[in-house]
Amino acid sequence: MSAAQASIEADKLRMNQVQDLLNLGFRWMKFPAALEHQFLSQDPQQRLRHFIISGLISLMVYDGFLIADYLMIPDVFSIAVTLRLLIFTPFSVIILLLLWLHRDRPFVHHPVVLDSAVLVSGLFAAATLAYALSITHSPLSDFYHGGFAVVVMYGNLVQRLRFWSALGFSLAVLAIQVVGVVLLPNFNPRLVWPICSLTAATVAFSLCANYVMERDKRRRYLLSERERALVKDLSEVNLKLQQLSRVDVLTALFNRRHFQEYLQDLWQRAKHGGTEVVIIMMDVDHFKPYNDHYGHPAGDECLRQLASVMQNSLRQPGDMVARYGGEEFIAVLPDTSLALALQAAERLRKAVEGMAMAHAKSPTLAVVTVSLGVACCNAAMPGATPDGLISKADRALYDAKHQGRNRVCSI
CA distance 31 to 33: 6
Contacts (Cβ under 8 Å, ≥6 apart) of 257: 245, 246
**Closest to 389 measured CA to CA, from 365, 400, 401, 373:** 373
CA distance 19 to 82: 54
Q: How far is CA 139 from CA 70, 192, 281, 390, in A?
A: 13, 17, 105, 103
Residue 72 burial (10 A CB sphere; 0-12, 13-18, 19+): buried
Dihedral sign of CA atoms 39, 43, 45, 48 in order: negative
114 near 46, Cβ under 8 Å?
A: no
**Closest to 280 measured CA to CA, from 345, 346, 348:** 345
Among residues 9, 301, 327, 328, the one annotated as catalytic is 327
Contacts (Cβ under 8 Å, ≥6 apart) of 336: 276, 277, 278, 316, 344, 376
Contacts (Cβ under 8 Å, ≥6 apart) of 91: 124
Contacts (Cβ under 8 Å, ≥6 apart) of 256: 322, 323, 324, 325, 330
- Taking phi over 0 as left and psi of -120 to 50 as alpha, with beta for the rest, 373 belongs to beta
Alpha helix positions (H), 154-255: 163-182, 192-246
Phi and psi for 407 in degrees, rounded to 5? Answer: -155, 170
Which string of b and e fits 296-321 if b means at least 16 CB within 10 Å? eeebeebbeebbebbbebbeeeebbb
Query: Any catalytic annotation for residue 353?
Result: no
CA distance 134 to 179: 9
Q: Are strands 408-410 and 328-334 parallel, antiparallel or unpaired?
A: unpaired
**Closest to 329 measured CA to CA, from 248, 405, 212, 244:** 248
Q: Which residues belong to the active site? A: 327
